[in-house]
Amino acid sequence: TQLLEQSPQFLSIQEGENLTVYCNSSSVFSSLQWYRQEPGEGPVLLVTVVTGGEVKKLKRLTFQFGDARKDSSLHITAAQTGDTGLYLCGIETSGSRLTFGEGTQLTVNP
């Protein structure tokens, strides 16, 4: 059983569409991070959410941390081809270990 379950695993949409991807767990977290990874590159931090119910916006990206701090979502409005990538959620499972989910591979078609 994965500590973090991300869904969907794959998502292919047209430019201009909206989408939401999810990161779920049965455990409670003190914080959660979202990253985007492009092919041949390392993950790039998008946001850290800390407070239950917190909503953070990064341009067209909206991140939400669940009230119970067990889940999080990432919503992208009016997707662009540059949003294509692997979206990873990650949590610190100990003081110094970041554990990632399997990721959602997003493809935005022109």
Partner 1 sequence: EPEVTQTPSHQVTQMGQEVILRCVPISNHLYFYWYRQILGQKVEFLVSFYNNEISEKSEIFDDQFSVERPDGSNFTLKIRSTKLEDSAMYFCASSGPGQGTSLYGYTFGSGTRLTVV
- Interface residues toward partner 1, by CB under 8 A: 30-31, 33, 37, 40-45, 48, 50, 88, 91-92, 94-103
Return the structure tokens found at 87: 């979206």
Name the minimum Å distance from CB 97 to partner 1: 5
* C-alpha to C-alpha distance for 84 and 80, rounded to whole angstroms: 8
Nearer to partner 1, 78 or 98 (CB): 98
Q: Nearest distance from residue 35's CB to partner 1, in Å?
A: 8
**In terms of CB distance, is 50 or 55 closer to partner 1?**
50
Q: How far apart are CA 70 and CA 3, in angstroms?
A: 11
- Kindly report the length of the chain: 110
User: Using CA atoms, how far apart are residues 89 and 23, in angstroms rounded to an integer?
Assistant: 6
Q: HSE-up of 34 (CA within 13 Å, CB side)?
A: 28
User: Of 26 and 96, which CB lies nearer to partner 1 in the complex structure?
Assistant: 96
Cβ 110 to partner 1 shortest distance, Å = 25
